[in-house]
Amino acid sequence: MIRAWLLAAGLALLAGAYGWGRTDGARLAHAAQAATVAAAQAATIRAAEGASRKEAERLALQAERDALARQLEDEAREDPDATGGL
């Protein structure tokens, strides 16, 4: 009779340890995944901010180039010799 109780207690202990390990493992896996997702989001945000800065620089350079082109064109219109004698 004692053997049956020992077997039942051992099985209960085994089932409890299995359940605790499974629950704790799932909690740790979720925490690791959350940390990985947070790191990926931070990297994505940094990359997006860098791309935004690069785009702003590109637009500023394009505006400067357009202004210089307009200025050059205006100067060419004012200079009668700039047409090459046409």
Q: How many residues does the chain have?
A: 86
Higher per-residue confidence, 44 vs 75: 44
Domain span at residue 31 reads 24-77
**What pLDDT is attached to residue 27?**
95
Residue 34 in domain: yes
Cα–Cα–Cα angle for 39, 43, 46, rounded to 5 degrees:
140
Domain count, the chain: 1
The region of weakest confidence among 31-35, 42-46, 58-62, 82-86 is: 82-86
- At residue 79 the predicted structure's pLDDT band, cuts being 50, 70 and 90, is confident
Cα–Cα–Cα angle for 21, 24, 30, rounded to 5 degrees:
135
**What pLDDT is attached to residue 82?**
63
User: What's the mean per-residue pLDDT of the chain?
Assistant: 92
Could you tell me the sign of the dihedral formed by the alpha carbons of 75, 78, 84, 86, in that order?
positive
Residue 9 in domain: no
